[in-house]
Structure 1
């Protein structure tokens, strides 16, 4: 610290003290120019003494040799060649670390979005609304794997009276999927049987679009004209946006994707695997008992 800095620091200290007294509504101690000069001279004297002592005891700087890559790189290469399994161990350790980090992120997101995943007021519920196990599915009406997995869901709903199923419209494959999902949201909010609508779309031929969805809704007694007029309602967009937000937080990028407990299950894993997960949830409160 140079002499000017010390003077400024001493002066700032005096000003800070005066300001503190002012804020506390206390009488400010009086300090005249002579007193200030005396304080500054004392600080300078003490600083000079400390500098002298420091110079006498400070060790000499340690010189370090520069690392020459031309020397170091062959040494590293030779070490790795002498034990190639080092890379395998590093790769395995990295994989474990990344998996643990991903698990931690998923657990945090699941906790944050729990109500929106399992209890959103605008979601479609099939099976037993008060079931002891909840199975969530994110789907797209133009997803071939979702179509193939439809019998799995039908079997579970038919055989398990205590299963609650939550369906999340997640149109990610095309604009036609978005239009069909908009109609699906409206059907889900109506008194029509959504499961019949759901099956009709997944068993239809060709691409599922607005016309296919409106025709399926009409077969259930709903007005296609009224539904089409409501497709762009903000509440419809909000429901679909809610699925997008959950998917982004949980890292869901494809369909079908299931959620049971705290486990995110990508892909159509088959009815037997789903049964096993549901049974484990009942047995130990986890989708896979240890």
Structure 2
């Protein structure tokens, strides 16, 4: 109660439009006493700031939950995404990847590790190159073309090679990866330009913007959004927390 009264008094006396009916001398004396109290009890300020931060985080979390719910169909059940882990898992983890983004390789590896360690976790991967980054989009198109032409095993292999390719996966590099995967480079190049791939990239970009995700990497579950990369153990704890909420 003391904390509430002190902070309320500080707020009221700091705002001229909400001022207490005090004279100038009384107001000056009150502020002096308040300042002395806060100097003697700095924990009051810390507690107030901690409370404000918790309230801010709660508002942010609630906003995230509303965004996830509003976009759940496109997020969790798009038919042309790569899907792994438990097909009928009780929790779905969606990993947004960009082959040129720092941490995206770690984020995807953590998501795959979590799915391998949790027999009830379903994993979805979405290609999310940074808007305007031609090299990142080229890499995403390549991965999607491989998935459509050769299936999930080749797709995973292509992803590993794309992360290893470095900052700029040139056309020659992509041709070499295609050949190493036993695919016709010309066929892959043609498939990369397919209208379905263009539409899918636009759809994922719009989804990321609707969720206010920011750049990849990002991980999304029914009650959680992680902007950035976190280790598998953290993802698994989030999964268990979601299960406890059900």
Same fold (TM over 0.5): yes
> Pick from 118, 129, 140: which aligns with 1:171?
129
User: Who is 1:238 aligned against?
Assistant: 199
The 8 Å contact of residues 138 and 168 in structure 1, kept in 2 or not, is answered as: yes
> Pick from 166, 173, 176: which aligns with 1:206?
166
The 8 Å contact of residues 112 and 123 in structure 2, kept in 1 or not, is answered as: no
Q: CA deviation at 1:74?
A: 5.9
Separation of aligned partners in 2, 1:72 and 1:142: 62
Q: CA deviation at 1:159?
A: 3.8
Separation of aligned partners in 2, 1:222 and 1:179: 17
Separation of aligned partners in 2, 1:91 and 1:162: 39
User: Who is 1:13 aligned against?
Assistant: none
> Pick from 215, 218, 221: which aligns with 2:179?
218
Separation of aligned partners in 2, 1:280 and 1:87: 32
**Structure-2-length-normalised TM-score:** 0.72
Q: CA deviation at 1:240?
A: 1.6
**Structure-1-length-normalised TM-score:** 0.62
Separation of aligned partners in 1, 2:98 and 2:27: 52
User: Who is 2:12 aligned against?
Assistant: none
Unaligned ranges ≥5, structure 1 = 1-66
User: Who is 2:35 aligned against?
Assistant: 81
Q: CA deviation at 1:141?
A: 0.6
Q: Secondary structure at the match of 1:264?
A: strand
Aligned residue pair count? 218
Query: Once structures 1 and 2 are overlaid, which stretch shifts more, 154-163 or 241-250?
Result: 154-163
Larger Rg belongs to? 1
User: Who is 2:14 aligned against?
Assistant: none
Separation of aligned partners in 1, 2:94 and 2:211: 13
Superposition pairs of residues 1-290 of structure 1, within 5 angstroms: 78=32, 81-84=35-38, 91-172=49-130, 174-192=133-151, 193-202=154-163, 204-211=164-171, 212-281=173-242, 283-285=243-245
Q: CA deviation at 1:254?
A: 3.5
Unaligned ranges ≥5, structure 2 = 1-20
Q: CA deviation at 1:190?
A: 2.7
Cα 1:72–1:221 change in 2 (3 A) is farther
Q: Secondary structure at the match of 1:111?
A: helix
Q: CA deviation at 1:136?
A: 1.0
The 8 Å contact of residues 178 and 184 in structure 2, kept in 1 or not, is answered as: yes
Q: CA deviation at 1:227?
A: 2.7
Cα 1:158–1:99 change in 2 (3 A) is closer
The 8 Å contact of residues 144 and 155 in structure 2, kept in 1 or not, is answered as: no
Cα 1:72–1:136 change in 2 (3 A) is farther
Cα 1:172–1:189 change in 2 (3 A) is same
CA deviations over 1:222-257 (Å, ceiling 9, x no partner)? 332233234333322221222222222222123321
Query: Once structures 1 and 2 are overlaid, which stretch shifts more, 214-223 or 241-250?
Result: 214-223
Cα 1:75–1:124 change in 2 (3 A) is farther
Name the structure, 1 or 2, with higher relative contact order (CA <8 Å, separation 6+): 2
